[in-house]
Amino acid sequence: MRDRIKDIFLESIRVKEELLRTGLGQIVEIAELAINCLEKGGKMIVFGNGGSASDSQHIAAELVGRFKKDRAGLPAISLTTNTSILTAVANDYGYEAVFAKQVEALAHKNDIAIGISTSGKAKNVAAAIKQAKKMGLKTVALTGGDGGELAKLADVSLIVPSTVTARIQEAHITVGHIICELVEEELFQEQK
């Protein structure tokens, strides 16, 4: 069991080291988009399914509450939390529309839409990115594998170099934490 645990840690480390080599530019772009969005009074809209739903909630919570600094809350929302909206839209329009309808209703010009899908193949995430683009929002995709359709749709796509869902999710939340930290450092430079 100890060897298996070590192998899992090393696999996670290897994926993150490769992402550092291949994705640094995209992480900078995402951070700049987030900072620009928030400076202009926009909000960050984050969404995904399953573990990616949890990641979207985690990222929104870090921004609304705090990451490392005691500071004013930042506008961020996860589209995965309102079960009444999710079930009503899924029932009336189909599951593919659960995020797109919320983007349509809640998004405004200076907002940024961040879709998370480990495979890049989640149809509801892709539909929401398409809706966001239609409305003129900047869009970001956090994916893995070959990026799927989602990577082709977004303005900035960060593709984690792995096909293992757990390793992709671990990298996504690391990137989410990096974005939160960079946003705080830029927007709240005077606070510790």
Encode pLDDT of 167-185 as tens digits: 999 999 999 999 999 999 9
Listed residue (57, 8, 34) closest to 178, CA to CA: 34
CATH of residue 64: 3.40.50.10490
Q: List pLDDT tens digits, range 6-47.
A: 999 999 999 999 999 999 999 999 999 999 999 999 999 999
192 domain-assigned: no
Q: How many domains does the chain have?
A: 1
Q: How long, in residues, is the chain?
A: 192
Domain of residue 131, residue span: 2-187
Contact 79, 99 (CB under 8 A): yes
